[in-house]
Amino acid sequence: MMDSVSLSCKDCSSWKGLLLTVSLLICWLLPSTSQLTIKSVPPIAVEGENVLLFVHNLPKNVKAFSWYTGVTAIKSCEIASHVIATKFTVVGPAHSGRETLFNNGSLLINSVTRKDSGYYTLQILGATSRRKIIRAEFFVHSPLLGYKDHLTPSQLKIGLVPPKVEENNNIILWVFNLPKRLQGFVWHKGVLPLGHLKIASHSFLTNSTILGHAYYDRLTVRNDGSMLLLNVTQKDAGLYTLRTLSVDLKSEWAILDLQVNKL
């Protein structure tokens, strides 16, 4: 793990706008090619926030992958390894209890501290047992003076009812700790908030909900943010993200990895 990066007080004013701008831009931009990439969301985090190392274009022939702290894939730095076919994860010596691996290769780190700053290494194992390594980096700093309230760590959580999902079942993506005084919230498939991946949006200002066309006949959204999805299929499997926006422009997000078991 690399040393953490801190900011002096004289840097605070110049970083305020930059931190927010970079965090927002990274959520809207997709890589222009099919090359395997990792995006840190956000790339610069405040202590206590959650950071997602989002893997884009994981090859289809990957059998397993492992995440490590630092720039080398050595056992003492292993966070966890994951077998895609069985969805089985084994934690390593560097696992702190705050990390979650997703089946698409992504790594979620909850409640980051300054010690979490630095490089992370993803090693993937293909069908021919060939290994490939790719790295990502993010930084964590203490809350900036006068900016702490805007970047409050998210307590937003999503649960799944029932916890195990079979094809053709009805499920609820249950939302816990929805923030107060919201303008609205948005559900979308995946991590990046792209228009064609939007599932539903709700405005508390107009008390109205707009559903995406692909989910129009199968979806019900409640005012507490929870979402009922009818007759799930294998196509519904994957990451789901809930983003909220408060009346004072604070934003929070939470993700859930939905796995659908075949009958």
User: Which part of the chain is CATH 2.60.40.10?
Assistant: 9-141, 154-261
d(CA 28, CA 14): 23
Note the helical H segments in the chain.
12-28
Written as one letter, the residue type at 121 is T
Please name the fold of domain 154-261: Immunoglobulin-like (2.60.40)
CA 247 to chain centre: 23
Query: For tokens 């993937």, what's the residue?
Result: 124
Report yes or no: 31 and 57 within 8 Å, Cβ to Cβ: yes
- Phi then psi for residue 231, to 5 deg, are 50, 60
Helix (H, G, I), strand (E, B) or coil at 11: helix
The rounded average pLDDT for each run of 10 residues, N- to C-terminus, in the chain (263 residues) is: 35 40 40 72 81 89 94 94 93 95 92 90 88 89 50 70 89 91 90 78 89 83 92 90 86 86 82
Written as one letter, the residue type at 161 is V
Distances (CA, A) of 190 to 4, 128, 148: 29, 28, 28
Name the DSSP class of 48: T
**Contact residues for 87 (Cβ-Cβ < 8 A; gap 6+):** 103, 259
What pLDDT, on a 0 to 100 scale, did the predictor assign at position 249?
78
What pLDDT, on a 0 to 100 scale, did the predictor assign at position 26?
41
Cα R_g (the chain), whole angstroms = 19
Closest CA to 16 of 39, 44, 36, 37: 44
d(CA 1, CA 72): 10
Name the DSSP class of 144: P
Domain 9-141 has CATH 2.60.40.10: yes
d(CA 112, CA 167): 36
Query: What is the helix (H) or strand (E) element at residue 233, kind and residue range?
Result: none
d(CA 132, CA 257): 24
